[in-house]
Amino acid sequence: MTESQKGSSMTLAPSEDRFLFAEERPAEVAQHGVWKILIVDDEPEVHSVTRLALHDVVFAGRGLELISAHSAAEAEEVLHRHGDIAVILLDVVMETDNAGLELIRRIRDTMRNSATRIILRTGQPGQAPESDVIIRYDINDYREKTDLTSSHLFTAIYGALRAYRDINALEHHQDGLEEVIAATSALFECQTLRAFTRTAEDRFPKLLAKTTAGKFTNIDMIWARRINKDGFDVIAATGSLRPLAGCTKFADLPEMLIQRFEELEKAGSLVNGTWLGGLYRESSTLEYVFYMEGLHALTPTDRNLLDVYMRQATSAFDNLVLTQQIDETQREIVYRLGEAVESRSQETGNHVKRVAEISRLIARGAGLSPRDCDIIFYASPLHDVGKIAIPDAILNKAGKLTPEEWEIMKTHAIKGYEMLSNSERPILKAAAVIARDHHEKWDGSGYPEGRRGEEIDIMGRITAVADVFDALGSDRCYKKAWPLDDVLALFRHERGKHFDPHLVDILFDNLEAVTEIQQRYSD
């Protein structure tokens, strides 16, 4: 396009405007990147003049990389190759009268690029009136080429780079905050210490990549357990801290680490200069320490996001420990209550321990989840809790019960269910179902409701096998222990009648482990 067709080109200002004031900018460009500026114009002179004006510009410690495109189509190709163009100096009239304006729409609407700053430059203001362009197109500045002297261009570029930097900082902060939320949510979902450790190790590199814009790929990290102030057990270590994997005494750590761990003792978690750490207490004698070093040039946003994560991780760990303590308390109460029931019926408390262990063994063989196996382990000791409501004269009668006494005895199943069924605690809810169903039979001839087959809850069916197997092999007030061969013969006979046939097969497949449990908790 000729000069007469396009109008006046950008001209250099008098000599006092040609040179940028280098003394006002850092003397050296930082090594962590450049700002990419795309010059889009079909006049070679415009590219030359722009490069001359901006050749030594430094912003925020970073220099400029000037990329040229001589048409809107070429500029679009450049934008697809470079996803980090900070500023576009864009001509309006190129291969068509409105090529620049059409490119703006493709940048904003098709490419979904709202971060790059666009400075529209025109040699024909009448071709694209400023007010009309500002209203209709998502641009950030509008300049006539004759107005863009060196100093004016410097001002326009600086303003655009500030805006681009701040937009990216906001997006980076948002991405980092989203990752912090995701990472801490994952920690709060952990139900065991092992899961917490594994999740922390998995999520932290992702968090670091998001919160620090991927500045750190090689980091030195240690995750350790400290017992009774001196015992030290490294769970994981990376980088220069890897040799500490063999350390077993806190006092043998490097002095620098000891000092930093002492700081963590007071603060709980710290993001301090080039390192960060967290200290998590499980009890008065057991604590876990997470430490990382080598984090250079953290921005205030980086530090704030990492600090939020470390504090939330501490809260998640405290929550996990508290939950485990509550669960342990609940489990101990359940266990002791089961022992009390057995004691009242003049039976050894070791019976409930054996039933619990055998039930968990069968549950594993049946393919129940680890959590369900644990629940049945802690709930099965309450299978006979309803016997609390049975009179001693019936409960401990040495001889055979009368039909009337037997009907009273059978009520212990539903009474146990009624005692526990209103609880919202998983263990007690499971114990209620077990109390109700452990006297049901596979063929429907059991009590209290005559359920059959899979109508009987799997936990009830499992506990029935464990309870009867152990009861038959143990002394009772009304009988002597059966020989093992007789017990096995009964189970073969009752397979598919009294008992779930699949669970009987699991019992027989694991007979050696079952007898080992009985020996370990013998009366």
Residues with a known catalytic role: 387
Instruction: State how far the Cα of 504 lies from the Cα of 496, in Å rounded to an integer.
Output: 9
Tokens of 271: 């993001």
- Is residue 299 within 8 A of residue 339, CB to CB? The reply is no
Contacts of 304 (CB under 8 A, 6+ apart): none
Beta-carbon-side half-sphere exposure of residue 442 (alpha carbons within 13 Å):
18
- Is residue 378 within 8 A of residue 331, CB to CB? The reply is yes
3-state secondary structure of 495: strand
Instruction: State how far the Cα of 78 lies from the Cα of 132, in Å rounded to an integer.
Output: 27
Strands across the sheet containing 275-281: 231-237, 220-227, 286-293, 275-281, 269-272
Burial, 177: exposed, middle or buried (Cβ in 10 Å; 0-12, 13-18, 19+)? middle
Contacts of 265 (CB under 8 A, 6+ apart): 279
Mark out the alpha helices in 29-149 (DSSP H runs): 44-54, 72-81, 99-105, 130-136
3-state secondary structure of 128: coil
Instruction: State how far the Cα of 355 lies from the Cα of 521, in Å rounded to an integer.
Output: 10
What's the gap between Cα 189 and its chain centre?
Answer: 8
Contacts of 254 (CB under 8 A, 6+ apart): none
